[in-house]
Amino acid sequence: MSDVDIVVIGAGAAGIAAARRLSGCGLRVRVLEARQRVGGRAWTLPDPAGIGLDLGCGWLHSAVDNEWTALADELGFAIDTSQPAWSKPALEQGFPAARQNEFRTALDALFERLDRAGHARDDRPAADLLPKDPRWRDLLDAVSTWINGVELAQLSVHDLCRYVDTDVNWRVRAGYGSLIATAAEGLDVMLGSPVTAIDHADRALKIETTRGTFAARAAILTLPTDVLAREAIRFAPALPDKIDAAAALPLGLADKVFMRIAGAHELPIERRLYGATEGEIASFHLRPFGSDLIEVYLGGALARRLEDDDGRAMFAFAVDQFADRMGNDMRGRISFVAASAWARDPLSRGSYSHARIGMSDRRAVLAAPVDDRLFFAGEATSREDFSTAHGAYRSGTRAAEEAIAALTASRQST
Ligand SMILES: Cc1cc2nc3c(=O)[nH]c(=O)nc-3n(C[C@H](O)[C@H](O)[C@H](O)COP(=O)(O)OP(=O)(O)OC[C@H]3O[C@@H](n4cnc5c(N)ncnc54)[C@H](O)[C@@H]3O)c2cc1C
């Protein structure tokens, strides 16, 4: 294998952003990606109706400031700026407006308590701030699993309160994953090339892959934390601080199921339905972009319990909850389209990162360079934008700039 200046490991949002930042700098850059596709947790399946089915990221969060929004304009991707279904009242089947208002009040009060607790010296689980009244607990927990991938008992208040959200959420009509994959066009990406070991004892790095070993002056690693924590890459010398930091920032789980409904015109467009308000709860997004699809969201322990290889268990659960709310005749009208299984995916092992209680500072530990040769990016390294595709983008750009500065300095000193 030919040697390069910088190897970027992983062609997800962070790796692609890093490689784009490095291009044109006069450095030889190669991206090594284990999968046979780019995008990582950004992955769009095309639908015959012409919209993209995003199995991973779907929303341009903090959309006005989001770098992917600017790239969408540049690359000719249409952006939908309509109000998200989750910010409108949900369908009233099984959840009348008055009860929805009560729930909204409980949710707002929880967020206010979380905000206040975020400034306290000691971290604590968000579940400590639940109201005494147990009425909305299951639904509050479910909302946390959709946003954070974990229930409130596992959610660090300090970490959550550092997250920055401008509350503007847009979508890419052809799919967020398609946009991110298109941004990789023209980059030197080697697919099907998992990195298995990095020897960083000498000045030149030795990067081992299943397709051979080669040398580089620097590497930018963008692996999901659960993959790094399981030591998918062996470091010599070992990097216990990095492995510990990755383990302190595990990926929570959120999965999607897409289903098609016959006679969709009878259902409202772009509305949400809660599958239940107690027990295990799925969220249904009806008819995105006016299509005949329903996007189902399942998170946390529920998604972990149901995830299987073909999505059938999640689908069966979703059909049951949907029929329970909307009538039994719906059963015969719904067909399976696609489902994700992010926890079973050995190259992700989950959906998005959260900090264990008291561990939010590990994001900075994970992000710190080693010897000006190894640089770390990926959504989990972001203090304020973790768990998002734009956080991944920003981390990739940051790591690329650190690498450029280090290589420029070392060239000047030789
Ligand atoms: C269901 C779901 C919904 C989401 N919704 C949103 C949303 O609406 N908005 C939003 O902003 N974000 C959302 N996210 C989160 C967002 O998708 C991620 O934060 C972001 O895509 C992470 O990018 P990354 O580059 O950090 O990691 P990844 O995308 O995971 O990229 C890492 C890459 O490294 C590769 N890799 C792993 N091991 C190796 C190895 N040994 N050698 C080489 N390559 C390796 C992987 O294959 C992968 O391509 C969602 C995620 C999921 C799963």
pLDDT of 29-38, one tens digit each?
999 999 999 9
How far does residue 395's CA lie from ligand 1's centre (Å)? Answer: 12
Instruction: Tell me what pLDDT residue 2 has.
Output: 59
Cβ atoms of 126 and 118 within 8 Å: the answer is no
Instruction: Tell me what pLDDT residue 1 has.
Output: 53
Cβ atoms of 68 and 60 within 8 Å: the answer is yes
Dihedral sign, Cα of residue 212, residue 216, residue 219, residue 222: negative
Instruction: Tell me what pLDDT residue 48 has.
Output: 83
Torsion of CA 297, 389, 385, 148, to 10 degrees: 20
Per-residue pLDDT band for 109 (boundaries 50, 70, 90) equals very high
Does residue 235 have a pLDDT over 60?
A: yes
pLDDT mean across residues, the chain: 96
Does residue 246 have a pLDDT over 90?
A: yes
Does residue 201 have a pLDDT over 70?
A: yes
Instruction: Tell me what pLDDT residue 215 has.
Output: 95
How far does residue 109's CA lie from ligand 1's centre (Å)? Answer: 32
Instruction: Tell me what pLDDT residue 414 has.
Output: 62
Does residue 161 have a pLDDT over 80?
A: yes
Cβ atoms of 396 and 13 within 8 Å: the answer is yes
How far does residue 259's CA lie from ligand 1's centre (Å)? Answer: 23
Ligand 1, atom 31, lies closest to the CA of: 12
Does residue 370 have a pLDDT over 60?
A: yes
How far does residue 396's CA lie from ligand 1's centre (Å)? Answer: 12
Ligand 1, atom 19, lies closest to the CA of: 388
- From the list 223, 265, 263, the residue with the least C-alpha distance to 245 is 223
How far does residue 57's CA lie from ligand 1's centre (Å)? Answer: 8
Per-residue pLDDT band for 42 (boundaries 50, 70, 90) equals very high
At what angle are helices 389-413 and 67-75 packed, to 10 degrees?
90
Q: Is 233 in the pocket of ligand 1 (CB under 6 A)?
A: yes
How far does residue 4's CA lie from ligand 1's centre (Å)? Answer: 25
How far does residue 348's CA lie from ligand 1's centre (Å)? Answer: 7
Q: Is 359 in the pocket of ligand 1 (CB under 6 A)?
A: no
Per-residue pLDDT band for 41 (boundaries 50, 70, 90) equals very high
What size, in residues, is the chain?
Answer: 414
Cβ atoms of 38 and 184 within 8 Å: the answer is yes
Q: Is 149 in the pocket of ligand 1 (CB under 6 A)?
A: no
Q: Is 386 in the pocket of ligand 1 (CB under 6 A)?
A: no
Rounded Cα gap, residues 120 and 39, in angstroms? 38
- From the list 126, 54, 48, 131, the residue with the least C-alpha distance to 300 is 126
pTM of the model: 0.98
- From the list 212, 23, 1, 170, the residue with the least C-alpha distance to 83 is 170
Cβ atoms of 176 and 44 within 8 Å: the answer is yes
Q: What is the mean pLDDT of residues 299-323?
A: 97
Does residue 380 have a pLDDT over 60?
A: yes
Q: What domains lie within the chain, and their CATH numbers?
A: 2-39+184-250+354-412 (3.50.50.60), 85-168+254-339 (3.90.660.10)
Q: Is 229 in the pocket of ligand 1 (CB under 6 A)?
A: no
Instruction: Tell me what pLDDT residue 239 has.
Output: 98
Q: Is 18 in the pocket of ligand 1 (CB under 6 A)?
A: no
Pocket test for ligand 1, best of 41, 163, 213 (most atoms within 8 A of CB): 41
Locate the ligand 1 atom nearest the alpha carbon of residue 38 and give its number.
Answer: 49
Does residue 66 have a pLDDT over 80?
A: yes
pLDDT in tens, 248-297: 999 999 999 999 999 999 999 999 999 999 999 999 999 999 999 999 99
Instruction: Tell me what pLDDT residue 252 has.
Output: 98
Pocket test for ligand 1, best of 214, 352, 384, 398 (most atoms within 8 A of CB): 352
Ligand 1, atom 13, lies closest to the CA of: 57
Instruction: Tell me what pLDDT residue 47 has.
Output: 87
